[in-house]
Each structure stands twice: as C-alpha cells, then as structure tokens.
Amino acid sequence: MPKTIFVDTSRCTACRGCQIACKEWHELPANKTTQYKWGSHQNPQDLNPNNYKLVRFSEHLDNGVIRWNFFPDQCRHCELAPCKEMGDLYIEGAIVRDEKTGAVLYTDKTKNFSKEQFEEIRESCPYNIPRRNEKTGVLTKCTMCNDRIHNGMPPACVKVCPTGTMNFGERSDMLKLAEARLAVLKKQYPDARLADPDEVNVIYLLIDKPENYHEFAVAQADLGPMSKKQFLATLARPFKAMKA
Ligand code: SF4
Ligand code: SF4
Ligand code: SF4
C-alpha cells in the first residue's frame, strides 16, 4: 500500500516552515521576493523549479467577516497520475512511480520533452503542479521526499511542521486520521471536506469551500478517463512508431 501525506489545513498557521524545509532538503536556491509588490504574503507567487512546495494565502469576506485560508500546495502523487500517462506517450521511463512508496517521480530524462510536450503534461495535471527548469529543461515537482522515506524518515515538510497540519504514514492510517478529523470539524464547519481522497496520496482536509483556497484545491478535471488530448496522442503513437 502506498504512503500518504494528510494535510489538515484547519491547523495551518502559514509559518512556511514546510516550504523552507523542502527547499533546504532539496538544496534549492532562494527566489527574489516580491511580497510588497503584489499585495499578498504568499511568496513566491507560484510554484516554480525552486519551490516544490508553496503555502498559498487566500482572503475572502464571509458575512462581513474576513476569512484567511492557508493551503500548503504540492504534488498529490495521484493514484493514476495523468502527468505520467501523458509523459509515457512521448518518452517511457521519464516519469516513473516508485511502487514501494507510490511517489510519482520526474527523472532527468524529462529534459528530453519538448516545450510543447511539457505544456501538455502540465495541462494534464488536475492540480497544475509540473514546472520546467528553463536552464536545464528538466521538469520539477515534489518528490514526496522519496529518498528520506527509503531511509526511514518522514518527508521534510512533515518533519518540521509544528502544528500537526502535515502528517505522513501508511495510506490506510492516513485515511482513518483524515476521516476522524473531518467528523470533528464538520460540526463547526459545514463546508468541511476531504479533497479527492480516493484519487490521491496527498489528501487535504478543507474547512471552507475549495474555491476559497485556490483554483486547484480540488481536481480541475476527471482523474480517471483520459483527456481528449491524451486519447488523440494514444491514437497517434502507432503511426509515429511506424515512421521511426
Ligand atoms: S509548517 Fe505546518 S503550519 Fe507551517 S505553513 Fe507548513 S503546514 Fe502550515
Ligand atoms: S498532482 Fe499532477 S504532477 Fe502530481 S502526480 Fe498528479 S498529475 Fe502528476
Ligand atoms: S514531500 Fe518533500 S518534496 Fe514534497 S513538498 Fe514535502 S518536503 Fe517538498
């Protein structure tokens, strides 16, 4: 059974320890900050090749009360990963799954995808996660800290989280924990829900409507059936092979 991260957003204080720990473990450089130029504490503004994890900040008015939601965003390590299905159509083995942990991993071979192929891979992701390092061409995203897991350690973002927002373990245990927390929080927050728990291995508990976190808090496309683009690419594959 795959490993799973359970993210209880009701506990998140937006300290961004997880975001920093991720950069530190992966030895990713700093980005130039733009905080005061765009009116939000969310920094950087989006996921990028130097940030596999981004704590998203979202404000909205609820009956005259300002609500401020925090969402530590990262790859969901989907059970049936559309990014891998799309990548396999072009270069098999560039995007792989670790069968032991369930982590979906981007290898160095991803640098051989063209920019157009990368765009198709990014668009296939229901959570808008994949990014491309423009210098090296390699595609980037959260690795679930697969190397740490294989050495008996939890992911870096889970290890540093001081509030219990980030949890890690066997999928069955994380699902039980998520359902238990949901049952408690539902009494106070009627909109509370789990985000796509059957399809992903990074499960978020939301206490507000998904759109009050960010556009991709829940899947923006069906995870199961192939998209039209994937289907057409599948049809084209035998013809490409015949030409080669
Ligand atoms: S370390 Fe924990 S509390 Fe801090 S921002 Fe990340 S998830 Fe939220
Ligand atoms: S969240 Fe996106 S990038 Fe991550 S495994 Fe799923 S499809 Fe791929
Ligand atoms: S699991 Fe590892 S790679 Fe993924 S966001 Fe957390 S620290 Fe970063």
> What is the structure's pLDDT at 126?
97
AA identity, residue 75? C
- Percentage of the chain beyond pLDDT 70 is 89
The reply to whether ligand 3 has any atom less than 6 angstroms from the CB of 143 is: yes
pLDDT one-digit tens code per residue, 76-107: 999 999 999 999 999 999 999 999 999 999 99
Q: Give tens-digit pLDDT for 15-46.
A: 999 999 999 999 999 988 766 678 888 999 99
Give residue 198 CA to ligand 1 midpoint distance, Å: 24
Sign of CA dihedral 184, 188, 190, 195: negative
CATH of domain 82-145+222-243: 3.30.70.20
Q: Phi/psi of residue 208, each to 5°?
A: -135, 170
pLDDT in tens, 125-138: 999 999 999 999 99
For the chain, the structural domain boundaries read 82-145+222-243
Cα-based distances in Å from 240 to 92, 113, 150, 228: 14, 16, 38, 18
Which ligand 2 atom minimizes the distance to the CA of 76? Answer: 1
Average pLDDT over residues 61-81: 95
Which ligand is closest in space to the CA of residue 71? 1
Question: What is the pTM (predicted TM-score) of this model?
Answer: 0.91
Rounded to whole angstroms, how far apart are CA atoms 115 and 71? 29
User: Residue range 95-120: average pLDDT?
Assistant: 98
Tell whether ligand 1 has an atom less than 6 A from the beta carbon of residue 155: no
